[in-house]
Amino acid sequence: MSKINLCFKRIFVFFNVLFAILGALILSLGLLAHVQLHEAGGNKLTGVIVLVVVGFVIFILSVLGAYGAQKENRNVLIAFFVIMCMGTISLFRMAVQIAISREQVISEFQKLGHLDQADSDIKNTMELLQLNAKCCGLFNGYKDWGNEVPTSCNCEDTKHDRCQVYSSDENQGVFSQPCGPIILGYLNTALNITLGAFIGFGVLSLLAAVMSLVMIIRITAPTVSPPAIFDLNYKPPKYSELVPSA
């Protein structure tokens, strides 16, 4: 006989199945990206490896929780509860670290400059951003590039508000808007999404831990037998039924 409420169990299993599907999708996406980057000759696979590990962990934990609840296995549910508690603490701790270091990251970025002294990866990324966002430099415009202003800063229509004259030649213009504020907007959005993801997954982990604890308590609780029922309205048999008639 099941000791856990059927509706409660089904809700717990349902959400674990959803997270198992999510973990499988993340794992598949990470493996696909790993194969494509490997074929393209990419060496920086750290982000892809993290994606694979996260997807695998989510999938295994979800399967573990769904199996423990469906079979009402106390040991599996205890293991799931302990892991969820550890995950909740880790997620909230990382969220706090992101919230604390957020201003420091933005402040350090604002100190950047002199793109002419940056490495090739940063230069290539900046030139790609300048072409797409129609901007130039970080916070000081073309001056951040020193004497090596790239062609990605060039603006054809010097009479337009977004262009400014770069040299004595009035036909040579560059984008007047710096890229720094645009990058800061992307950075703020990325930090907000990351912080929200950590807090959201932390709350879900805490909820899963509480639900698994409830099921553990229900499973370990002793079975109480129903009390015996005595009929207090006892009526003795009639005298005529006990003594046969002559």
pLDDT digits (tens, 9 = 90+) for 59-105: 898 999 899 888 888 899 999 999 999 989 998 998 898 888 888 87
> What single DSSP character describes residue 151?
G
Task: Give the number of other Cβ atoms within 10 Å of residue 87's Cβ.
Answer: 20
Beta bridge partners of 173: 155, 165
**Do the Cβ atoms of 76 and 223 come closer than 8 Å?**
no
| Res 85: pLDDT | 92
How buried is 133 (Cβ within 10 angstroms: 0-12 exposed, 13-18 middle, 19+ buried)? middle
CA–CA separation, 36 and 20 (whole Å): 24
- Which amino acid would we find at residue 11? I
SS3 129: helix
**Do the Cβ atoms of 70 and 16 come closer than 8 Å?**
no
More confident call, 124 vs 17: 17
Helix axis angle for 74-110 and 180-220, nearest 10°, is 160
Helices (H), the chain: 6-39, 46-71, 74-110, 120-133, 180-220, 239-242
More confident call, 167 vs 74: 74
pLDDT at 44 over 70: no
> What single DSSP character describes residue 3?
-
Most confident of 42-51, 60-69, 231-240: 60-69
More confident call, 193 vs 157: 193
